[in-house]
Amino acid sequence: MKDSSKTKATIDKSLFFIPLGIVIVFCALVAVFPDSSTAAFNAIFGVITGNFGWALQWFFFANTIIMIYLSFSKYGDKKLGNEKPEFSTPVWLGMLFAAGTSGVAIYWGFSEWFQYAVAPPFGLEPLSRQAMTYASTYSFFHWGPSAYGLYATVAVVFGFFFFVKREDTNRPSVACASVIGEKNAKGLLGKIIDIVYMMGIIGAVSAAIGLSTPLISAIIADLLNIETSLWIDAGILVFFTIFFVFGVYGGLQKSMKFISNLKLALVIGLLAFVFLIGPKSYMLNTFTDSMGIFISDYFKMMFATEPHTAGTFPQSCTLFFFAWWSAYALNTGIFLARISRGRSIKQLVLGSTAASCIGCWLHFIVLGYYGMHAYETGVVDVIHIFQTQGITDAIIAIIKTMPIATVVLVVMLVVMAVSTVTVINSAAYTLSIVSTNNLPADEEPGRANRIFWAIALGALGLVLIFIGGLGPIQTISLSTGILTMVIIVIIFIAFFKYDGKKWDEYMERNERLDAEAKEKKVEVQE
C-alpha cells in the first residue's frame, strides 16, 4: 500500500522545468552579459516603480483595512477548524516571534538607519536632524504591520482552505478557483498562477541570500584577517548548497528544528548582550520618539511617491520592501496557516502581526540605535565608513566598538550562516512540494527535486552578488512582488466574494463528518 501511494507522487513537469528553466537562462544571460544585464535591471526598475509602484502602496493600505475588518467583524471569532489548537499559546507566539528574527533582520537592523540618513525621504538634507529622526523611524514602517499584516491576512485565507474547507494544497491556484473557475484553476491559467508563486519565492529568497552572504563573507574575512572577494562569496554559497545536498540524504530536515532553536537562542542572546552593554536610555527614548512619529506620519509614509522632486526614497526603499513582502506573502501565509489550526481569526491576525513585529523591531531598537548612538557620540564614524567602504564594513565597524567584539562577530557569523541554510532549506522544500503531483501529506518530495531547487537558489543568489549592489536585488523583488500581488488580489476576491461566505456551512459539514467518523471508529473498536 505504501509503495502504491509513492507511485502516485510524480513531478509536475510544467511546474518544475519552466521555473527552473527561467532561473538557468537568467543566470546564464547575466554571467555572459553582466554590463547589459545591469543596464536592463536599471531600466526595468524604473519602469516598474514609475508605472506600478503606486499600486503596491494602495495594495498594502487596503490590506491594513482588511486586517482590521477580519479582526473585528463577524470573522473575528470564527475559528480555523473544530480542533483544539495544535500548539499552546506560548509556543505558538514563540514561533511567530521567531518569524521576525533572521539573518536579514540583523543585516538591516544594523544598517538601515545610516542608509536612510545619507539618502533621506521628503527631500530632507542628508544627515540633518530631521533626516536622522526619520532614519530611526522608517524601519518600524517598513518592517511593521504593513509587512506582517499581509502575511496574516493571507494566512487567514489559506487557514480557511486547510481547516474549514479542508483543501489540502500548497498551490495558490486552488484558492483562486472560485474566481477563475475550477477548469481554469486546473489548466493553463492555474499553472501560470503557480509558476508566478514559485518565481516569487525564488526571487524573494535569492534577494535574502544576496544580501546576507556578503556580510557573512566580510565577517569571515575580518576574523581571518584576509581580503573579501567574490570567491569567498562563491565559496560560502557552494558550501551552503553542498551542506544542504548532503543533508537531504543524511536527515537534515530532522535537525532543522534544533538548528532553528539554536539560531533563535543566539539572536536573543545577541540582542540582550547589546542592550545591556549599550545606551539603554538612548535606545528607549529614541524608540518612544520614533513610535510617535511612526503613528503620526503613517499615512505620509504609506503614500509618499515624491513625483515633483528628484527623490528616489519611496522607489528604492518603500516599494522595494513592499514588493519583497508581497513576494514572500503566499509562502509565509501558508506557513502561518499551518501552525494556526484551531485559532480564531482575531488571534491569528493580531497575534501573528504583533509577535512578528516585536521580534523584528527589537533588531532596530537594539542593534540600530546602538550604532546610531556610537556615531552621534563620535565613537565611530559609521557614515564615512559606509560611504567609502560599504555597508558590511560599516556594520563590522559598529560591532568592533563592543566588548568581546570577536565573540559577537562569531555569534553573528553563526546566526547569518544558519539563517541562510534555513532559508535555502525551507524554500527548496516548498518549491519541490509545489512541483510534485499527488504528494501525500505524510511524505516528503523527492530528494533530487529538493537538490535541484537548492542548487538553483544558490546559483541565483551568487548571480545577484556577482552583479553587485542593491539594484538587481531590488529589481528582482519588484518584478516578482508585483506579479504575486495580482495573485493575492484574486485570492482575496475569491475568499470574500465566494468561499468565505460558506464558512459556517463548511463548519457544520465538518462537525457532521467528524461525528460520523467517530461513530465508525467506536463501532470498529467494539
Nearest-angstrom CA–CA distance, 416 and 459: 18
Q: Residue 89 CB: number of other CB atoms within 10 A? A: 11
The one-letter code for the residue type at 352 is S
Q: Residue 46 CB: number of other CB atoms within 10 A? A: 13
Length of the chain: 526
Torsion of CA 23, 24, 27, 28, to 10 degrees: -150
Sign of the CA dihedral running 299, 300, 301, 304: positive
Nearest-angstrom CA–CA distance, 154 and 333: 5
**Model confidence at 41: pLDDT above 70:** yes
> Please, what are the domains in the chain?
52-508 (1.20.1740)
pLDDT at res. 526: 62
Q: How confident is the model at residue 2 (pLDDT cuts 50, 70, 90)?
A: very low
Give the mean pLDDT of 35-62.
Answer: 86
**Model confidence at 440: pLDDT above 70:** no
DSSP, residue by residue, 16-84: HHHHHHHHHHHHHHHHH-HHHHHHHHHHHHHHHHHHHHHHHHHHHHHHHHHHHHHHHSTTTT-BSSSSP
Nearest-angstrom CA–CA distance, 72 and 347: 11
DSSP, residue by residue, 351-412: IHHHHHHHHHHHHIIIIIHHHHHHHHTTS--HHHHHHHH-HHHHHHHHHTTSTTHHHHHHHH
Confidence (pTM): 0.89
Give the mean pLDDT of 140-150.
Answer: 93
Q: How confident is the model at residue 34 (pLDDT cuts 50, 70, 90)?
A: confident
pLDDT at res. 1: 39
- The answer to whether residues 83 and 341 touch, using CB atoms and an 8 Å cutoff, is yes
pLDDT digit string, tens, across residues 300-313: 999 998 887 766 89
**CA neighbor of 459 nearest in space, from 205, 238, 198, 218:** 238
Cα 479 from chain centroid? 15
- The answer to whether residues 485 and 55 touch, using CB atoms and an 8 Å cutoff, is yes
Q: How confident is the model at residue 6 (pLDDT cuts 50, 70, 90)?
A: very low
**CA neighbor of 363 nearest in space, from 48, 72, 112, 164:** 112
SS (H, E, C) 481-495: HHHHHHHHHHHHHHH
Give the mean pLDDT of 78-93.
Answer: 88
